[in-house]
Amino acid sequence: MTEPALFATYNRIPVSFDSGEGVWLHGSDGRRYLDMGAGIAVSALGHQHPHLVAEMQKAVAGVWHTSNLFEIPEQARLGERLVAETFAERVFFCNSGAEANEAAIKTARRYQFINGHPERTRIITMAGAFHGRTLGTIAAGGSPKYLEGFGEPLAGFDQAPYDDIEAVKALIGPETAAIMVEPIQGEGGIRPVSREVLAEMRALCDEHGLLLVFDEVQTGAGRTGTLFAYQSLGVTPDILAAAKGIGGGFPLGACLATADAAAGMVPGTHGTTYGGNRLACVAGNAVLDVLLEDGFLEKVRQTGLYAKQALAGLVDSHPDIFETVRGEGLMIGVKCRAPVADITNAARAEGLLVIPAGENTARLLPPLVATEADIREAVAMLDRAATAVEAKSAAAPQ
């Protein structure tokens, strides 16, 4: 046995994929897998989508990278399109979700700084949140399991219990700069924050001169049936972090903001070598071409409703295995009673990829091109997986 070359940071499943089509992946084990994880909500249009492939093939034959020292027309165009489709007036591009959140945090603090409040640096976040793995975003997320062993957490984050507006209110002080929240917690287990709480957060921010930051790294790029989740919630943030699906599989992150919120981010305050390079922004534009096609997001909402109903039926027929279904659009969690790892493993044995999340939840984050027939097939596989888990626990010695 040779020593492994890679950091031991992942418990990898021993299968790899080198081709796929739409919602299907072909495994190195010779099997076909129905992909209801989309690489953690990244492959928004599935695998080898013809429009993405064509656009990227053209781009690869040209210049790949020039850095942000120069103009990048594809980046300017993607920024203009995001501005046209959202509340935002300014966009900063980066490579990942954690970086998008870092940019959001810095933007919020700079806003307070240039508006005569250099003391306002603290950001209120929610328990159970996940904002990434940089030193800043693990402090923002506040999860002890991600902070342990990495020294003093970055200062400046105050955490309120999930969905508790009174606690948020109590945490607001003279040093508060912003409130930062995922409209639906993804890694936390597909836990939606209620509309009322989000609306009250907006009101509190307006009242106290704070900025409202939405982490839409997982909920964005059409995942919940609108381009961004805030658009169906009736609550508009000042700053929004996006990544995952917006590049359709190419690393791309973005921090969106109003002109006012972004006013402190002047030359020299922030930057990135790769962020928003030509290839990444060709991918981003190609994804947007499809998401903005007439009827595409409407279809995501319909397929999402169908999936939730079908999964609710599945929960009813396996009450010892599953507990409840929650989520929005094609961001769906099935909270389990049996250990979620048993269910995701049994699902994979049936040829189905689903992803575990917090609160013992199995996540379904299919490519947004998934059809009702694909969902039916996934539910049938989950049904067989649940039956297998039931059989195993019945056979186990008591």
Binding footprint of ligand PLP on the chain (CB under 6 A): 96-98, 101, 130-132, 182, 186-187, 215, 217-218, 243-244
- Given 3-state DSSP classes, what are the helix, strand and coil percentages for the chain, each rounded to the nearest 5? 40, 20, 40
Minimum distance from CB of 118 to ligand PLP (Å)?
A: 27
Among 57, 54, 48, 55, which residue's Cα sits nearest to residue 20? 48
Minimum distance from CB of 242 to ligand PLP (Å)?
A: 10
What is the spatial distance between Cα 298 and Cα 84, in angstroms, rounded to a whole number? Answer: 19
- The smaller minimum CB distance to ligand PLP, of residues 131 and 278, is found at 131
- The smaller minimum CB distance to ligand PLP, of residues 27 and 189, is found at 189
Buried b (16+ CB within 10 A) or exposed e, 249-267: bbbbbbbbbbeebbebbee
What is the spatial distance between Cα 307 and Cα 372, in angstroms, rounded to a whole number? Answer: 7
- The smaller minimum CB distance to ligand PLP, of residues 229 and 381, is found at 229
Minimum distance from CB of 267 to ligand PLP (Å)?
A: 25
Minimum distance from CB of 216 to ligand PLP (Å)?
A: 7
Minimum distance from CB of 287 to ligand PLP (Å)?
A: 15
151 torsion bin: left (phi>0), alpha (psi -120 to 50), beta (else): left
- The smaller minimum CB distance to ligand PLP, of residues 104 and 168, is found at 104
How many degrees, rounded to 5, is the angle at CA 213 between CA 209 and CA 216? 165
Spell out the alpha helix ranges (H) of the chain.
38-41, 50-60, 73-85, 97-114, 135-141, 144-147, 165-171, 195-208, 230-233, 278-291, 296-317, 340-349, 372-395
Minimum distance from CB of 101 to ligand PLP (Å)?
A: 6
- The smaller minimum CB distance to ligand PLP, of residues 101 and 360, is found at 101
Minimum distance from CB of 128 to ligand PLP (Å)?
A: 11
- The smaller minimum CB distance to ligand PLP, of residues 127 and 263, is found at 127
- The smaller minimum CB distance to ligand PLP, of residues 186 and 189, is found at 186
Minimum distance from CB of 95 to ligand PLP (Å)?
A: 8
Q: Kindly tell me the sign of the dihedral angle through the C-alpha atoms of 222, 227, 233, 239.
A: positive
- The smaller minimum CB distance to ligand PLP, of residues 220 and 304, is found at 220
Which residue number has the CB closest to ligand PLP? 97
For residues 121 and 175, the answer to whether their CB atoms sit within 8 Å is: yes
Spell out the alpha helix ranges (H) of 30-128.
38-41, 50-60, 73-85, 97-114
